[in-house]
Amino acid sequence: MTRKKPNELRSHRWFGVDDLRAFGHRSRAKQMGYATADFAGKPVIAIINTWSDLNACHMHLRQRAEEIKRGVWQAGGFPVELPAMSLAEPIVKPTTMLYRNFLAMEVEELIRSHPIDGVVLMGGCDKTTPALLMAATSMDLPTIFFPAGPALRGNWAGNTLGTGSDAWKFWAERRAGRLDAKDWDAIESGISRSPGTCMTMGTASTMTAIAEALGLILPGGSSIPAADSSHARLASESGRRIVEMTW
């Protein structure tokens, strides 16, 4: 693999030149505990994380970000995690569609305004995937999308439950008086039982399948369940791969 010289990296104008502005950037990096050897001559990889405490689809992304960083460090890059708006499909009202373009604009400006050479996008909820991809496409830097992954299938009294599908069916049963409060509570407790997006082939899974078909997710990555150990390995592999892509 032929590697660019360090002064060809986009981040080099922030970290690698002898002027007052670069001095300021390096000194602030050192203020955060980084040594020159941590970032000098290395591609700076932004990890755009849409985690939040109110987004069940993304609630494991805090840990996955650390696993992506591990891969970036292993491949000789310098990872930096940047938080972005979290669009929790079941929680945000009136609709996450209202905020999809806001997220796209925010992420585009995060990428534009920071000294970065490559990007890992973290998300999976319905409007998050297209928002992140629109932002990265506009910026045209090396990019990998890391999908949140589907949740484990639901379970109630031996029945397989799918979020986003069986909820409607059993709500109709509840309204018809054929499910009592105890059964309804048990369905609530069993229908979504792990981190991750809806495990049915709804909007979230469709968006990530499209992202993989476009070549933006590592092969096979869009269908790995969030709770599977393979999902953590996908994270670190995405970190290693983005450094290679950036070079």
Same structural domain, 140 and 172: no
Residue 173 and residue 54: Cα distance in Å, rounded? 28
- Return the structure tokens found at 111: 């990428």
Residue 107 and residue 228: Cα distance in Å, rounded? 28
Same structural domain, 202 and 184: no
Candidate from 15-19, 95-99, 104-108, 218-222 with smallest mean pLDDT: 15-19
Q: What is the mean pLDDT of residues 104-117?
A: 97
- Identify whether the C-beta of residue 134 lies closer than 8 Å to the C-beta of residue 179: no
Position 198 scores a pLDDT of 94
**Does residue 1 have a pLDDT over 50?**
no
- Please report the sign of the dihedral spanned by the C-alpha atoms of residue 162, residue 236, residue 137, residue 54: positive
What does the chain look like in DSSP terms, one character per residue? -PPPPGGGSTTHHHHSSSSHHHHHHHHHHHHTT--HHHHTTS-EEEEEE---TT-GGGTTHHHHHHHHHHHHHHTT-EEEEEE-----TTTSSS-THHHHHHHHHHHHHHHHHS--SEEEEEE-STTHHHHHHHHHHHHT--EEEEE--BPPPEEETTEEE-TTTHHHHHHHHHHTT-S-HHHHHHHHHHS--SSSB-SSSSHHHHHHHHHHHTT-S-TTGGGS-TTSHHHHHHHHHHHHHHHHHH-
Same structural domain, 138 and 53: yes
Same structural domain, 68 and 122: yes
Same structural domain, 130 and 209: yes
Same structural domain, 129 and 208: yes
Position 13 scores a pLDDT of 79
Same structural domain, 112 and 79: yes
- Identify whether the C-beta of residue 198 lies closer than 8 Å to the C-beta of residue 151: yes
Count of domains observed in the chain: 3
Per-residue pLDDT band at 4 (split at 50, 70, 90): low
Per-residue pLDDT band at 3 (split at 50, 70, 90): low
Same structural domain, 76 and 135: yes
Residue 43 and residue 241: Cα distance in Å, rounded? 12
Same structural domain, 141 and 245: yes
Residue 128 and residue 146: Cα distance in Å, rounded? 12
- Identify whether the C-beta of residue 63 lies closer than 8 Å to the C-beta of residue 77: no
- Please report the sign of the dihedral spanned by the C-alpha atoms of residue 165, residue 232, residue 88, residue 184: positive
Same structural domain, 93 and 48: yes
Same structural domain, 34 and 136: no
CATH code: domain of residue 52: 3.40.50.2300
Mean pLDDT of the chain: 94
Same structural domain, 11 and 100: no
pLDDT, tens digit, for every residue of 207-227?
999 999 999 999 999 999 999
| Reported pTM | 0.93
Task: Give the residue numbers spanning the domain of 12.
Answer: 1-41
Four-point Cα dihedral 149, 155, 160, 166, nearest 10 = -80
Say which amino acid occupies 111.
Answer: I
Length reported for the chain: 247
